[in-house]
Amino acid sequence: MRPRRRRRPGSSTRTRPGEPYRGLVFHDEAWHWAMLGIYGERYWVAHPELADPPPEYRALG
């Protein structure tokens, strides 16, 4: 018997017509994708100061 996974209430991994992405979890940080594009894979190792957006960037959102 497999252990049960914990899920958010209302979440489902099954797709339904019209909801092909239900249950998927994404990075919601545009910052991450921008830094990945500029500095490449593992940018947070080479530039740890860029691992999180600065407060000024978050204030824009």
Tens of pLDDT along 38-61? 999 999 999 999 998 888 888 886
What's the pLDDT at 39? 95
Mean pLDDT, the chain, integer: 76
Q: Judge whether 44 and 38 are in contact, CB under 8 Å.
A: no
**Helix, strand or coil, per DSSP, at residue 11:** coil
Return the structure tokens found at 58.
Answer: 């978050």
Q: Return the percentage of the chain with pLDDT > 90, whole number.
A: 26
Q: Judge whether 23 and 15 are in contact, CB under 8 Å.
A: yes
Higher pLDDT among residues 37 and 60, named by residue: 37
What's the pLDDT at 44? 92
CA–CA separation, 54 vs 29, rounded Å?
A: 12
Report DSSP state, residue 14. Answer: S
Q: Return the percentage of the chain with pLDDT > 70, whole number.
A: 59
Q: Residue written as tokens 């992405």? A: 21
**Helix, strand or coil, per DSSP, at residue 56:** helix
